[in-house]
Amino acid sequence: MSHLTYREAISAAIWEEMERDESVFLLGEDIGLGGGAFYITKGFQERFGRERVVDMPLSEAGFTGAAIGAALNGMRPIVEFQFADFVTESFKMIVDFAGGNHYRQMGPVPIVLRLPSASLTSAGPFHSQNPEPWFFSTPGLKIAAPTTAYDAKGMMKTAIRDNNPVLYLEYKKFYSYPLGDLPEVLRPDIPDEDYTVPFGKARVLRKGGDISLITFGTTVLEALEAADILDSEGVQVEVIDMRTIFPFDKNAILNTTRKTGKLLILHEARKRGGVAGEFASIVAEEAFEFLDAPIRRVGAIDTPVPMSPPLEKVYLPGTERVVDALRELAAY
Amino acid sequence: MYQARVRMPQMGSSVHESTVIEWKKAVGDRVLKGEPLVSAESDKVEFAIEAPASGVLKEILVASEKIVAVGEVLAVLETDEPFSEEEITPPTPSGPPKTSEWTAPVAPMKRERYKPTSPRPTQRPLQAEDGGITTPQADLNYNMPLISRNMWLSPRVQRLAAEHGLNLGAVASLAGSGTNGRVTAQDVDRLIAAKNSQESDIIKLIFSPMVPPEARERTEPLSRLRKRIAENLTRSVQQIPQVTTFLEVDMSDITAWRAAHKDEFEHKHGAKLTYNPFFALAIIAALRDPENERLNGTFEDDALTIKRYVNLGLAVDSPEGLMVPVLRDADGLGFADLVLALTDIADRARTGKLAPEEVKEGTITLTNFGASGALWGNPIINPPEAAIVGTGAVAPRAIALPGGGVGVRPTMGLSVTFDHRANNGIAAGRFAATVRTALEGMDLSQLEF
Q: What is the pLDDT of residues A296-332, one digit of tens each?
A: 999 999 999 999 999 999 999 999 999 999 999 999 9
Q: Which CATH architecture has domain B147-198?
A: Irregular (4.10)
Confirm or reject contact between A294 and chain B (CB < 8 A).
yes
Fold match between A6-186 and A203-331? yes
Which member of A292, A303, A331 has the closest CB to residue B154? Answer: A292
Secondary-structure class of domain B2-112 per CATH: mainly beta
- Identify the pLDDT of residue A260: 96
Name the residue ranges covered by the structural domains of chain B: 2-112, 147-198, 225-446
Q: What is the pLDDT of residues A51-88, one digit of tens each?
A: 999 999 999 999 999 999 999 999 999 999 999 999 99
Please state the separation of Cα A23 from the chain's center in Å: 25
Q: Is the peptide bond before A304 cis (omega within 30 degrees of 0)?
A: no
Is this complex scored with an ipTM above 0.90?
Answer: no
CATH number of A203-331: 3.40.50.920
- Let me know if A3 is a catalytic residue: no
Confirm or reject contact between A291 and chain B (CB < 8 A).
yes
User: What mean pLDDT do residues A21-47 have?
Assistant: 97
Query: pTM of this prediction?
Result: 0.56
DSSP conformational letter for B199: H
- Average pLDDT score over chain B: 82
- Identify the pLDDT of residue B200: 65
Cβ of B124 within 8 Å of Cβ of A328? The answer is: yes
- Identify the pLDDT of residue B404: 84
Residue B425 pLDDT class (50, 70, 90 cuts): very high
- Identify the pLDDT of residue B96: 44
- Identify the pLDDT of residue B12: 67
- Identify the pLDDT of residue B150: 52
Which member of B129, B130, B185 has the closest CB to residue A292? Answer: B185
- Identify the pLDDT of residue B414: 97
Helix ranges, B270-334 (H): 276-288
Residue B51 pLDDT class (50, 70, 90 cuts): confident
- Identify the pLDDT of residue B121: 40
User: What mean pLDDT do residues B255-260 have?
Assistant: 90
Q: Are A27 and A60 in contact (CB under 8 A)?
A: no
Confirm or reject contact between A288 and chain B (CB < 8 A).
yes
Please state the separation of Cα B32 from the chain's center in Å: 41
Residue B301 confidence (pLDDT) above 70: yes
Q: Is the dihedral of CA A77, A80, A85, A89 positive or negative?
A: negative
User: HEC states along chain A?
Assistant: CECCCHHHHHHHHHHHHHHHCCCEEEEECCCCCCCCCCCCCCCHHHHHCCCCEEECCCCHHHHHHHHHHHHHCCCEEEEECCCHHHHHHHHHHHHHHHHHHHHHHCCCCCCEEEEEECCCCCCCCCCCCCCHHHHCCCCCCEEECCCCHHHHHHHHHHHHHCCCCEEEEEEHHHHCCCHHHCCHHHCCCECCCCCCCCCCCCEEEECCCCEEEEECHHHHHHHHHHHHHHHHCCCCEEEEECCEEECCCHHHHHHHHHHHCCEEEEEEEECCCCHHHHHHHHHHHHCHHHCCCCCEEEEECCCCCCCCHHHHHHHCCCHHHHHHHHHHHHHC
User: What mean pLDDT do residues B68-74 have?
Assistant: 87
- Identify the pLDDT of residue A1: 62
User: What mean pLDDT do residues A117-138 have?
Assistant: 95
Q: What is the pLDDT of residues A166-212, one digit of tens each?
A: 999 999 999 989 888 999 999 999 999 999 999 999 999 999 999 99
CATH number of A6-186: 3.40.50.970
Judging contacts by C-beta atoms under 8 Å, the chain A residues touching residue B124 are 328
Residue B92 confidence (pLDDT) above 60: no
Residue B17 pLDDT class (50, 70, 90 cuts): confident
Name the residue ranges covered by the structural domains of chain A: 6-186, 203-331
Residue B94 confidence (pLDDT) above 90: no
- Identify the pLDDT of residue B107: 42
Residue A286 confidence (pLDDT) above 70: yes
Residue B122 confidence (pLDDT) above 70: no
Cβ of B129 within 8 Å of Cβ of A298? The answer is: yes
- Identify the pLDDT of residue B149: 45
Cβ of A261 within 8 Å of Cβ of B179? The answer is: no
CATH number of B225-446: 3.30.559.10
Residue B128 confidence (pLDDT) above 70: no
Residue B44 pLDDT class (50, 70, 90 cuts): low
Residue B192 confidence (pLDDT) above 80: yes
